[in-house]
Amino acid sequence: MWRAADALRLPYDGLFVVLVADPPPGPVPELGNRLAAHGIASAWSRTAGLLAGLVSVRDQRTLEQLLTVLQRSATLRYGASPVFTRLADCATGLRLARLALATADPAGPPVASFDDGPLAGLVVHSPDVAARMARSVLGPLLDLPAEQRTMLIGTLTAWYAASGSTEEAAQVLHCHANTVRQRLRRIRELTGRTVTDPVGTAELYAALQAVRALPSSVLH
């Protein structure tokens, strides 16, 4: 491990983060040089079809600077691991960064951190279990005609995104708040779970993550 750190010109210990991106065919922008201009050391390679980088962030301030550079100039979408302190944990960091990339919102920011959506990462890590869970929780809802299924799942997604505010969800969905309430009651009738019950709402949210992350063919 010492020899690896020396070859990569990185410290043996400190704070590290792994970044991965799904690069397009052809030359990839040289992010390493861009980070070096800000005093951030990194090492990059292609692995399993992904562009992967090990970055030495040293402290929280450097980590924030790294994210700022990526947000401003990224031409790719990146998945980021949680920060770790030993090079020996690099393999775990790579796995978590790949999960973050796999579950990133295409319309979201250019850098998706695993810590921003650990539940979605868990879903992708165990897709067979996640699919079974989604079927168990949503059941009859997934068997509805496509238009009705999409409407109810979209309503539930908007309700969670609005932190449980029916009024805010209604604004996003361009409908009346009572319409949102009616749809939530319909979801309760179909699934036996209500968003006002802590266990029920947790199960509904986990099932939503599975629906978003997994191919529809796995769920039906």
DSSP string, the chain: -HHHHHHHT--SEEEEEEEEE-PPSS----HHHHHHTTT-EEEEEEETTEEEEEEE--SHHHHHHHHHHHHHH-SS-EEEPPPEEEGGGHHHHHHHHHHHHHT--TTS-SEEEGGG-HHHHHHHHSHHHHHHHHHHHHGGGGGS-HHHHHHHHHHHHHHHHTTT-HHHHHHHHTS-HHHHHHHHHHHHHHHS--TTSHHHHHHHHHHHHHHHHS-HHHH-
Radius of gyration of the chain (CA): 21
For residue 204, the model assigns a pLDDT of: 93
Give ranges for CATH 3.30.70 in the chain.
2-116
Q: Decide: pTM greater than 0.85.
A: no
Distance between CA atoms of 35 and 55, rounded to whole angstroms?
9
Start and end residues for every CATH 1.10.10.2840 domain found in the chain: 125-219
Q: 3-7, 43-47, 192-196 — which one is most confidently predicted on average?
A: 192-196
- With both helix axes pointing from N to C terminus, report the angle between 146-161 and 166-173 in degrees, rounded to the nearest 10: 130
Q: What's the pLDDT tens digit per position in 52-97?
A: 888 988 777 888 888 888 887 767 888 888 888 888 888 888 888 8
At the top level of CATH, the class of 2-116 is alpha beta
The pLDDT value recorded for residue 212 is 77
Fold of 125-219: Arc Repressor Mutant, subunit A (1.10.10)
